[in-house]
Copies of this chain bind each other. A is one copy, B any other.
Amino acid sequence: MALTFDISMSLDGFVTGPRPRAGEPLGEDDGRLHDWMIPYADFHQAHDSGGNVDAAVLDRVHERVGALVMGRSMFDVGEEPWGPNPPFGLPVFVVTHRPRATAPMAGGTTYEFIVDGIDTALDRAREAADGRDVGIQGGANLITQYLAAGLVDDFQIHWVPVLLGGGTRLFEPSAGIARGDLELLRGTPSPSGVVHVEYRVKK
């Protein structure tokens, strides 16, 4: 039961646009980091030239994951727009300092709030994943914490063909992410311009 994540990254290494802030966690990226997912999110199938490739990549991500861990900031921003029938359909373990009762939602999503840190959240997610893998939903801060702790087994970067010139970096040396060698598992260029690249973390 691997711990994995996938994330869209600009060619200059940013996972948000410039000036991310409360209420606008993706900063001023004009949607350029995530627009490639829109055909998938809207229709769940191919609708533009990259749709088949991108949708297949995202399907593979979703199929392997049985539970999610999520940071508090992402949850706070997302809870309202995701609404009563969130798009996860999985147990979601929110790492937070504020205790809150478990919230079962429509469509198979449950929000469970973990106040004991990222290790406990991962343990709980593994139990709930029913033999499948655990995905780190985000945000970048939580992914960075799991990377720095050496707990990530593999991950996928969706390289988006833009230069953003600012924003949040996932791989920030000050975040304490260990230096390390990676094994390339797969590289998939898409007609959308995104290059999907999967790595295993060598341990």
Contact = CB atoms under 8 A, between A and B. Distances in A.
Interface residues of A, number: 33
Nearest to A192: B184
A76 to B, nearest CB: 27
A189 interface: yes
28 contacts: A11-B171, A11-B182, A12-B13, A12-B171, A12-B177, A13-B171, A161-B181, A161-B182, A161-B183, A161-B184, A161-B199, A162-B181, A163-B171, A163-B177, A163-B178, A163-B181, A163-B182, A164-B179, A165-B177, A165-B178, A184-B189, A186-B189, A187-B187, A187-B188, A187-B189, A187-B195, A189-B197, A195-B197
Interface of A: 11-13, 32, 157, 159, 161-166, 169, 171, 173, 177-184, 186-190, 193-195, 197, 199
A180 B51 CA distance: 23
Given A12-B13, A162-B179, A184-B195, 8 more contacts: A11-B182, A12-B173, A161-B182, A163-B171, A165-B177, A182-B193, A184-B190, A184-B193
A155 to B, nearest CB: 10
